Amino acid sequence: MILHMGKIKIVKNYKSKLDIYDTQKAIELVKRHFEYYLKESLNLKRVTAPLFVDPNSGLNDNLNGYEKPVSFTIPSIKCDGEIVHSLAKWKRVALLKYNFKVHNGLYTDMNAIRRDEELDNLHSIYVDQWDWELIINNKDRNINYLKNIVKKIHACILDTNNALKKRYPKLTCKLSKDVLFITSEKLLKMYPKLNSKEREYQIAKKYKSVFIMNIGCKLSNGSKHDNRAPDYDDWSLNGDLIYYNELLDVAFEISSMGIRVNKDSLLKQLKESKCQDRKNLEYHKMLINNKLPLTIGGGIGQSRLCMLLMQKAHIGEVQCSLWDKKDIELLKKHNIKLL
């Protein structure tokens, strides 16, 4: 039974299957195994990534467009730094700078602060994910190529889950072998009376593992399934990988990914989003002048993956962050111990 306490969900009679000590060991296992499977499956090399960027570079991820990045002044160089929201655009520049070749790519540990997140069981202001990016050919810019990459990532998650359950048999997370692929428009047709989050819940509960495609573009009802920045994913070639979280009875997003914009899709999406002023930023100039490689990439939540596979009721059980004091006391009363 799920109890709703404001934005917090309480699982009645919840007790973590792992104590705090074993939780730390399990986090290490999940991260070590998944990272290995991911780099081998997608032919990736690990690189070092920035925690902050120059706000004038255009490299920061604008997410939904309203989130304000954390910024600070650097007196010694007389400029500002901006904590990254994600590395969606930085990775593409790095692939060029580091001289990566076609069908080779990079991955990194991305740590971010998203100060505008509304905190609940799944959301924290601290974000940790594997950011990855792979160089592709123009002929790879199609739905089938995207689906193939999604299947590989899903297989990495399945392998990681098997390794975790072998080490900790008390864990019983079940994931479907296959992923359902569905466009956001088709999902709207299936559930026309529901909002986008309700549609995600229904399709995830029914099929357990789904990849919802075409995020960011307008649907036939005039709305968007979800907002997406106009300058990294091609909205016709992207999507979100979502699992059904049985413990919390929610649609549980693990990854957002997509084939990145080329010159044509960038200009089209900037115009549609009324963000044409971004064309003057350094990153966007490089894209428009075809100086950047064609790529596919995404982010995979580290704490999210640990939370799902370890059957935790709150993301604070697998990461350290800041929380409302009232929520901390509430969670403590219901056997949810935050790190």
Active-site residue list? 61, 114, 129, 240, 253, 256
Report helix, strand or coil for 12: coil
Phi, psi for 304 (deg, rounded to 5): -60, -45
**Euclidean distance between CA atoms 234 and 127, whole angstroms:** 23
Q: Do residues 257 and 149 touch, judged by C-beta distance below 8 A?
A: yes
Among 157, 150, 149, smallest CA distance to 176 is for 157
Beta bridge partners of 301: 129
Q: Which of 172, 138, 115, 133 is nearest to 321 (CA)?
A: 115
The Cα 211–Cα 152 span in angstroms is 13
User: Among 167, 150, 172, 159, which residue's Cα sits nearest to residue 300?
Assistant: 150
Is the distance from CB of 100 to CB of 308 less than 8 angstroms?
no
DSSP class of residue 77 equals G
* C-alpha 16, offset from chain centre: 25
β-pair type (233-245, 209-213): antiparallel
Q: In whole angstroms, what is the distance from residue 79 CA to residue 222 CA?
A: 41
